[in-house]
Chain A
């Protein structure tokens, strides 16, 4: 089998084309990662401010008064500013961290390489997706600085609170319009990105890279792209309609006869439930947009760490497809007490319970595959194992909320907050951490410090359980979420629990500085990484660290093997690279 040679592309010259408006998927992947990193630290600081306010409401937080004179006079937060920070925290985390990092960042960097392509199918679209996302981020950040405050309707922006404008109180003026515009622009970027991922997967696989030979994380990015294409395509027009309601006097989400602040609203004929349906039709699949790439990354890393393939590569992929498919049939479980027809609640409840089956199969396969392995403990594999623990913890609480009868009691309590933070927040972030520790050597050419990584892991897993388990206990008492202070008789005795959570959140957040230090220090002073430090089989490890501009140095790579040839006897040791002709069986 002779390898066809193609022209070696020379990298662009000049700082701007190389690092700013780059067409290189690897640079764009790193840009996404950088943006997510900025967003996650802002989001985390916002959560600290909220947690501090909840338990020490009168303590003036140094510097906060400078950020917002009206929102936090003298550093003491007003109730509306608390809600604004909560809204910004949720929006930043869901869109700019959980969508960007595991999917857009790692996917951009590694999908083309793993399938043997030189770049994405549409490099210009790719550049446009990132910069459009960046614009969306800037628009959202601008909402911090508008006169009547950042938006406060939550990341779900339920109408009519989000639609009627300043009559409904502070935080519902320009800030809310900027929120809707930011998400609208974000949707455009995500749609472009999803199309690009799909085209790349389907069209640019190299010779021998059949679909069944794709590594599992590439499969996860591909399935996620398909979900994202449908989900963002619904949220985008919904945001447009919300903007029109706010600025053009339309009434898509606003019914007639609303009297707000003694002011009869001029709108008529709209439906607040329409917004909920459109939002959650996106919102539920979004959960899987966050978690599927993490599942793929974690599986990829675990296989490498166990030195043997999963019990079944195919079943894992079918399960991810099943989850993606079912994710479109369950959105109504967010609306059990919304006044939707109670029969629909039952209809939405069953697929929600059934989606547990593919999720359980995946969990059992991860667990069962560990049996009889030669598990290498690294920072990456620890976070991957931690992901399983967190996914189970967040998954079982979903079993409660999937049942309308129990949801009557637990809806809108901290139980829900605990559930989604564990299953889509922390679990996905564990996937991001695992991916970072694993791929850092490839992306930068240097190793991260393993001891610091392991310390980071131990503190983080203890910390996250300490934060989010008590959320469930609070939910069982009926502690309502989205309250800026606990003034109800039954909530006051719960404040010690909240204090415990706040301290745990501050400490766990502090532990993330270890990661940040490790990331920055290792980037510049870490020991040099070899091409394949983890002895991994997929294509990204066949090239130098960091990879050359056009990935394969102008050669057309040919794939001879299924992705995970571990536990075999070969000249390299206990594994065979995908492009190794040793024991080859050619498929086209």
Chain B
């Protein structure tokens, strides 16, 4: 029985690693999609470094466990033996191996994290406002005047498409604001996205952009990114927001600058 379990453990350890190495499981691709951001490669490198270290630790530990079970299960005769070095060796090994690994990954990861959060957006970055509500995202562009009109939560009226609660009757700045259900951005241009929630918590997740950021009611948060590849990508909500959570989505369209300009012009008419 012990030997059977040891064999099963070896099979489990190796079988678990196969989809990670081949990036496919039951015909589905199980790797992150291609990165289309300027900061994402650092995250991807961090992910693959961690995968190598964690993967090796996992397989090694399972194989050692299996080997010891295979060797010592059911043993009745002979003397009991102690692992050379005893507990001291284990403590030193853990501190040296895991401590170094933790410090190294922690420090390297800090850089990747800093790229996303500690660099402020460039002053000339394209300003876009994002609002999340049950169960849709809306995006607002400032229009020709370059200014966003004020938001009045009491004036939000979805029936009349006033998703942001603008007051064009009294507020000049809001009259030329462009509101879209799709996030359209020019390629290779930094975008500074200011985020707020209309009702409950939501999240903004674009896998290809390697960005995930919660919308937190009451907080004005922001992220900035530069998309480097023209295309259409899915934006999904990752913070449980109620019954329609699974269906809360929008698209990110990354366009060439010309196409973007055309799109913006079409929207403002």
Contact = CB atoms under 8 A, between A and B. Distances in A.
A493 B62 CA distance: 31
Interface residues of B, number: 108
Contact of B201 (A272, A349, A462): A272
A392 B9 CA distance: 12
Given A161-B242, A497-B26, A412 B212 contact: yes
B230 interface: no
A361 interface: yes
A210 interface: no
A257 B216 contact: no
A278 interface: no
B80 A169 contact: no
Interface string B208-233: 00111110111101000000000000
Contact of A409 (B5, B54, B210, B249): B210
A158 B245 CA distance: 14
B170 interface: no
A568 to B, nearest CB: 10
Contacts of B57: 392, 396
Contacts of B42: 405
Contact of B90 (A170, A365, A500): A365
Contact of A259 (B16, B101, B153, B243): B153
Interface string B13-42: 000100110000111111111000000001
A194 to B, nearest CB: 29
A480 B32 contact: no
B72 A372 contact: yes
B116 to A, nearest CB: 7
Given A477-B29, A478-B33, A483-B245, A403 B106 contact: yes
Interface stretch (B63-71, B122-130, B181-189): B63-71
Contact of B158 (A262, A270, A338): A262
B241 interface: yes
Contacts of A312: 86-87
Interface stretch (B43-51, B137-145, B171-179, B260-268): B43-51
A199 interface: no
A494 B28 contact: yes
Contacts of B154: 259, 264
A482 B245 contact: yes
Residues of A in contact with B, size category: 35 or more
B169 interface: no
Interface in A476-510: 476-478, 480-490, 493-494, 496-497, 500
A452 interface: no
A360 B98 contact: yes
B105 A403 contact: yes
A48 interface: no
19 contacts: A152-B240, A259-B165, A272-B201, A338-B214, A346-B110, A353-B102, A354-B99, A372-B72, A372-B81, A373-B75, A385-B65, A385-B69, A412-B238, A458-B4, A470-B19, A477-B28, A477-B29, A482-B245, A485-B246
Interface of A: 78-80, 83, 152-154, 158-161, 164, 168-172, 254-262, 264, 270-273, 306-308, 310-312, 315, 337-339, 342, 345-346, 349-350, 353-354, 356-358, 360-361, 363-365, 367-377, 382, 385, 388-389, 392-393, 396-397, 399-400, 403-406, 408-409, 411-413, 454, 457-458, 461-462, 465, 469-470, 473-474, 476-478, 480-490, 493-494, 496-497, 500, 567
Interface of B: 1-2, 4-5, 8-9, 12, 16, 19-20, 25-33, 42-43, 46-47, 50-51, 53-55, 57-58, 61-62, 64-65, 68-69, 72-76, 80-83, 86-87, 89-91, 93-95, 97-99, 101-103, 105-106, 109-110, 112-113, 116-118, 133-134, 153-154, 156-159, 165, 198-201, 203, 205, 207, 210-214, 216-219, 221, 234, 236-247, 249
